């Protein structure tokens, strides 16, 4: 169920690449671990995010989690739908529950991210 | 690493695929189906909680009443056999050791239910206060499983398993009787803001009763409920939680439970300090907060007014019943004005919140 075309990091976030634009979100495993998501805070359009740095927050009833950018660049689109309906992160993390789109300065940080097979092995290892 | 304690129902939680966490040294279920779904199940139908981690302390002897009266701030002399009292137990400073339920079996036997993570502390404290009182104080926590069945359908469901006429068991009373053939202490108490029962069988019958209640309540929508929803339920009903609204540095008068401090009874530990605080004016007050700006106020976040720290959030959450982000906070009494707007510092950023009444949710009669 984790899409094969995405790249994944150890914080259970994904990156979807389309040309120079990268869509960021949290994985199914992340939403499952967090539980019911009730609040999402995202940067504004036009601001910049930096690879490895927090760009927002996802909160479930019980937990607060930072979300980390897998890429540096300018935010070109914010999913305002999830600001009003944070539960989209639970119901459709890879679809309607995406978070932001970034115009990447440089796509090379994606090379260090995991493929779906590597990510699933990582999750299995972590759960062990 | 210290090994986590488990309740006799651990295998049930595992089997139900509950998410387990370390709660005060206990490996407990934080959620089964999901916090929000479980929360609504209790408000609408009924939910079953494993609260076996709670502590139970027996006080027996000729001086049991006098000893209990000295320990707690509420007045245990008004109890009759089978009646239950809620009370803070204070230090001489007026700070809170714990909050308790005191069950009177008879004048020479009281059964005291304490918070799980405070059990050892409370037991030591209570032993230290025995002095010349002719009482024996025993930590009997291991002798009980505690199940809480809470929600508007709790009575209907439990009645199917017992001959005890539950309609006669009024709020804050208890009795002994069989549930599914198992001898239990049954009390009409809870920590959710709903009607309900707390049931205390011996540990060996815990799993049987857990399964049976879920089975006979299935058609009524009963669900197992984790500590996550237990917290949001108690929080909406303004039921205080030790370590949040209550603590060593917070008095019952500040925490909004001054009603349970009776100055006109015999002497009790903390009386002088609390009397003095009452006469000089209680410096802080627990207020309700509703977020005006975007964000969720969480426990320990600072509260500010005009950029100055004025207090802190004691509990805060998304409220499933109200569908709002609300909180409880402790601030100076003079600033506790309904309708005033203050700031919650959320990740270094001030976010506006309005002061509202603390009783966020009250069940319909």
ipTM: 0.86
User: What's the whole-number mean pLDDT along residues A77-102?
Assistant: 97
Residues 6+ apart with CB under 8 A from B256: B238, B240, B245, B285, B286, B358
Query: Which pLDDT score, from 0 to 100, does residue B33 have?
Result: 95
pLDDT < 50 positions in chain B: none
A 10 A CB-CB count for A46 gives 9
Asked if residue A96 is part of any domain, the answer here is yes
Kindly report the CATH number assigned to the domain that includes residue A104.
2.40.50.100
Residue at A120 is within a domain: no
For chain A, what is the domain count? 1
A85 falls within a domain:
yes
pLDDT for position B89: 98
> Which of A41, A57, A61 is opposite residue B36, by nearest beta carbon?
A61
Domain that holds residue A66: 7-115
Residue A62: the pLDDT is 86
Interchain CB contact of B325 with A (< 8 Å): yes
pLDDT of the residue at B1: 58
Q: What is the pLDDT of residue B364?
A: 79
Q: pLDDT band for A110, please (50, 70, 90 cuts).
A: very high
For position B79, what pLDDT does the model report? 97
Supply the pLDDT for residue B249.
Answer: 98
Burial of B354 (0-12, 13-18, 19+ CB in 10 A): middle
pLDDT at B365: 63
Does A122 reside within a domain? no
A62 found inside a domain: yes
Distance of CA B141 to the CA centre of its chain: 16
Q: What is the pLDDT of residues A50-87, one digit of tens each?
A: 999 999 999 999 899 999 999 999 999 999 999 999 99
**Residues of chain A contacting residue B34, judged by C-beta atoms under 8 Å apart:** 35-36
pTM over 0.90: yes
A32: nearest CA partner in chain B: B34
Cβ–Cβ of B294/A59 closer than 8 Å?
A: no
Q: Is residue A20 part of a domain?
A: yes
Contacts of residue B266, defined as CB under 8 A and 6 or more positions apart, other chains included, come to B66, B69, B70, B77
> Is position A89 within any domain?
yes
Q: Under an 8 Å CB criterion, which residues of A touch B?
A: 35-36, 38-39, 41, 57, 59-62, 64, 83
How far is the alpha carbon of A40 from chain B, nearest alpha carbon, in Å? 8
**B29 has which bridge partners?**
B20
Helix (H) or strand (E) holding A8: strand A7-8
Residue A31 falls within a domain, yes or no? yes
CB contact under 8 A, A41 and B35: no
B109 and A CB contact within 8 Å: no
């Amino acid at each position: 169920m984790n899409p094969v075309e995405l790249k994944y990091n150890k914080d259970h976030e994904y990156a979807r690449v389309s040309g120079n634009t990268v869509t960021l979100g949290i994985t199914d495993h992340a939403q499952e671990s967090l539980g019911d998501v009730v609040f999402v805070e995202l940067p504004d359009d036009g601001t910049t995010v930096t690879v490895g740095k927090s760009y927002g927050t996802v909160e479930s009833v019980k937990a607060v989690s930072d979300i980390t950018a897998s890429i540096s660049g300018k935010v070109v689109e914010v999913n305002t739908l999830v600001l009003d309906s944070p539960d989209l992160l639970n119901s459709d993390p890879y679809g309607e529950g995406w978070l932001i789109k970034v115009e990447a300065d440089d796509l090379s940080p994606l090379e260090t991210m995991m493929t779906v097979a590597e990510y699933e092995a990582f999750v299995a290892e972590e759960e062990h | 690493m210290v090994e986590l304690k488990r309740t006799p129902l651990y295998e049930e939680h595992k089997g139900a695929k509950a998410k387990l966490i370390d709660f005060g040294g206990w490996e407990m279920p934080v959620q089964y189906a999901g916090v929000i779904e479980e929360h609504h199940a209790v408000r609408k139908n009924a939910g079953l909680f494993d609260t076996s981690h709670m502590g139970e302390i027996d006080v027996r002897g000729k001086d049991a009443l006098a000893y209990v009266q000295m320990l707690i701030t509420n007045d245990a002399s008004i109890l009759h056999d089978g009646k239950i009292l809620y009370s803070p137990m204070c230090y001489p400073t007026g700070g809170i050791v714990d909050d308790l339920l005191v069950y009177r079996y008879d004048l020479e036997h009281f059964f005291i239910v304490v918070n799980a993570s405070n059990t050892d502390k409370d037991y030591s404290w209570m032993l230290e206060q025995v002095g010349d009182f002719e009482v024996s104080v025993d930590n009997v926590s291991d002798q009980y499983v505690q199940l809480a069945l809470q929600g508007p359908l709790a009575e209907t469901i439990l009645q199917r398993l017992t001959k005890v006429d539950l309609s006669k068991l009024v709020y804050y009373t208890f009795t002994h009787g069989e549930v599914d053939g198992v001898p239990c202490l049954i009390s009409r108490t809870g920590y959710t803001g709903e009607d309900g029962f707390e049931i205390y069988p011996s540990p060996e019958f815990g799993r049987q009763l857990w399964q049976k209640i879920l089975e006979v309540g299935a058609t009524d929508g009963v669900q197992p409920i984790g500590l996550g929803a237990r917290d949001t339920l108690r929080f909406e009903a303004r039921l205080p939680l030790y370590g949040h609204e209550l603590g060593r540095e917070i008095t019952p008068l500040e925490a909004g439970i001054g009603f349970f401090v009776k100055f006109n009874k015999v002497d009790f530990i903390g009386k002088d300090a609390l009397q003095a605080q009452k006469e000089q004016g209680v410096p802080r007050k627990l207020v309700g907060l509703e977020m005006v700006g975007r964000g969720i106020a969480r426990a320990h976040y600072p509260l500010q007014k005009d950029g100055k720290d004025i207090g802190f959030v004691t509990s805060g959450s998304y409220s499933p019943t109200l569908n709002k982000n609300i909180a409880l906070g402790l601030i100076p009494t003079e600033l506790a004005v309904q309708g005033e707007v203050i700031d919650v510092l959320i990740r270094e950023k001030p976010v506006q919140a309005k002061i509202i009444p603390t009783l966020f949710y009250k069940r319909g009669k």
